[in-house]
Amino acid sequence: MKKNIDLKLSAPEKALLKVQKIKISELGGYAPDEIASVLKAPAQRAKEIAALIEFQSIPSLGINFATELIDQGYYSLQQLEDKDPVELFNAFEKHCGAWADPCVEDSYRLLTHYIQHRDDSKRWWHFTAERKAYREKHGFPTDRPVKPWHHLPQYQKT
C-alpha cells in the first residue's frame, strides 16, 4: 500500500485511532464494519473510508480522484470491473457538468488498466499517448459539457 493515503479523517476520528494505537496506514487491513467500530462511525462513512483506501492504493491516483469515484457511487474496484475508461470519463464530465483536464481521462485509463492487469508499474501519464490517439480518431461526445472544470465554484478563488 502507498505510504501517503489521505482519508480526510476528522480530528475526532484521528483521536480515536490514537487512543487505540492504530496507525492510519493500518486501516487498509480493516473491513468496513471494523472501520466503523474503531471510529465509532456510521456504516456509510466506513464504506467511504474503505473506498478511499482501495482507490488510492493504485499508484498515482490520489484523494481527489478517489473522492470523484465515490461521488459517482463507486465504492470498490470490483464495481468498476469491465468498465470502459472512455465511458467512465465521459460520465464523469457529465456528472461534474464541466469538461475535465486531460490527465483525468488518463487516470481513468490507468484505473481500468490496473483493474484488468493489477499492474502497479504504470502511472496516469503512461496513458497520455493512448488518450491522444483515441481522441484524435474519435473526438468527444457531442453533448460534452462546454464549461471547463476550473470554472466550477469549488475551483474559484474567493
pLDDT reading at 3 higher than 80: no
Convert the pLDDT of each residue in 97-141 to its tens digit.
999 999 999 999 999 999 999 999 999 999 999 999 999 999 999
pLDDT of residue 157: 72
Q: Are 84 and 138 in contact (CB under 8 A)?
A: no
Domain residue limits, the chain: 1-57, 62-158
Residue showing cell 486501516: 27
Q: Are 17 and 39 in contact (CB under 8 A)?
A: yes
Q: pTM for this one?
A: 0.90
Q: Provide DSSP, 20-78.
A: TT--GGGGGGS-HHHHHHHHT--HHHHHHHHHHHHHHTSTT--HHHHHHHHHTT--STG
Convert the pLDDT of each residue in 132-154 to its tens digit.
999 999 999 999 999 998 888 87
Which are the contacts of 70, defined by CB distance < 8 A and separation ≥ 6?
48, 51, 52, 55
CA angle 9, 94, 51 (to 5 degrees): 25
